[in-house]
Amino acid sequence: MLAVLAAVSLTLAFTAQQKVSTLQQELVRRQQDSQGVSSEARMLAKQAQEGTRENAAKIALLEARLSEVAIQRGQLEELIQSLSRSRDENVLVDIDAGLRVAMQQTAITGSAEPLVAALKQADERLARYNQPRLEGVRRAIARDLDKVKAVGVADLPSLSIKLDEAVRMVDELPLLSVAEPRKAASAPPAPKPMQRSAAVSPEASPSWIKSWSDTWSNASDRVWGEVKSLVRVTRIDHPEAMLLAPEQAFFVRENLKLRLLNARLALLSRQYDTAQSDLMAAHGVLEKYFDRSSRRLVLTSDLIRQVSTQARQVAVPRPDDTLAAVAAASAGR
């Protein structure tokens, strides 16, 4: 009986083991299938993203081409309209368009040269055209040209040269924390003769006493002259400038150079407010850390002051008289 039970148990255990093994194999197979499906899904998602990017690029290209077509259509319409106008109207429209483009260039560059060139070109064209009806436009151009020429625009190349010169002189400026060698002092005055008692005559005093007295007087005068040469009285508004370490002096000079170079870049990009801020900061560094009695510092401060005075935003006047005259002539008045 026990043998039968043992056999049945073994059979059931073997069967259960086979089922478990089968289930494990099925789970492994399904896991591998799911991994393959997930990798395939990731690949499909990646392909979908690439396709989306390609479609977005194509859409952007189509929009750009559509805008180009719209621009070309507008230009074509303007060309058709210009062909339908009379000769006088074409001249006035060209002058108006040229002036407006020159005004935009002047606003961007901050220079009056584009507007001056456009006004001169318009005047020369009207002079060649020689139409009495447009003499009012020429008079308006002359008035606007005088107003634009009267505006003083900053000479950026010369200001840049001045800033470059100031940057070059920074390394030669003396710091307050570094004492400069003083000039050789003049010869000390002759020692005063020692007063002797009325009871002892000069003939009665021994010669060695007189020699010792002269030697002591000369030595004391030399020592006092050396002590006075070691003392320098200077007015310092910023005491921390005297505590500047030698390794920090290098960074002070480099920071000053960077300020001046930033001001130069701001001037070239016509950002006058930024340039003024950097120039003020540079002048503050000069006043705080450098010796004001130095001639080099005076020259550098003068260069920075000249640049700060001339680097101003100047509003170029609009050619309103010319535009009004062109509009009146186009309307036939």
Confidence of residue 293 (pLDDT cuts 50, 70, 90): confident
| pLDDT at residue 178 greater than cutoff 70 | no
Q: How many CA atoms lie within 13 A of 251 on its CB side?
A: 5
- Single out the residue of 259, 287, 284, 288 nearest to residue 274, CA to CA: 259
Q: How many CA atoms lie within 13 A of 295 on its CB side?
A: 0
pLDDT at 94: 86
Residues with Cβ within 8 Å of residue 102, at least 6 apart in sequence: 114, 115, 117, 118, 119
For residue 180, the SS3 value is coil
Least reliable range by pLDDT among 38-47, 212-221, 322-331: 212-221
pLDDT at 258: 92
- Between 140 and 175, the more confident residue is 140
18 exposed, middle or buried (CB, 10 Å; 0-12, 13-18, 19+)?
exposed
pLDDT at 200: 40
Least reliable range by pLDDT among 76-80, 111-115, 181-185: 181-185
pLDDT at 188: 43
Residue pointed to by tokens 């002269």: 214
Which range, 11-20, 215-224, 250-259, has the best average confidence (pLDDT)?
250-259
State if pTM tops 0.75: no
How many angstroms separate the first and last alpha carbons of the chain?
132
Q: State CA 216 to chain mean position distance.
A: 65
CA distance 279 to 261: 10
pLDDT at 87: 72
pLDDT at 232: 58
pLDDT at 145: 87
Whole-number mean pLDDT of the chain?
78
| pLDDT at residue 215 greater than cutoff 60 | yes
Average pLDDT rounded to a whole number, residues 263-289: 85
231 exposed, middle or buried (CB, 10 Å; 0-12, 13-18, 19+)?
exposed
pLDDT at 102: 86
Tens digit of pLDDT for each residue in 181-191? 444 334 444 44
Cα-based torsion angle of the residue sequence 259, 263, 265, 266 in order, rounded to the nearest 10 degrees: 130
- Between 217 and 142, the more confident residue is 142
Cα-based torsion angle of the residue sequence 90, 95, 97, 99 in order, rounded to the nearest 10 degrees: 180
Structure tokens at 69: 């077509």
Buried b / exposed e along 24-37 (16+ C-beta atoms within 10 A): eeeeeeeeeeeeee
Which range, 243-247, 250-254, 277-281, 286-290, has the best average confidence (pLDDT)?
277-281
DSSP secondary structure letter of residue 292: T
Q: How many CA atoms lie within 13 A of 1 on its CB side?
A: 0
- For the chain, percent of residues with pLDDT exceeding 90: 2
CA distance 159 to 162: 5
pLDDT at 15: 83
- Between 198 and 18, the more confident residue is 18
CA distance 1 to 8: 11
Tens digit of pLDDT for each residue in 139-161? 998 988 888 877 756 667 788 88
Average pLDDT rounded to a whole number, residues 229-239: 59
Average pLDDT rounded to a whole number, residues 17-38: 83
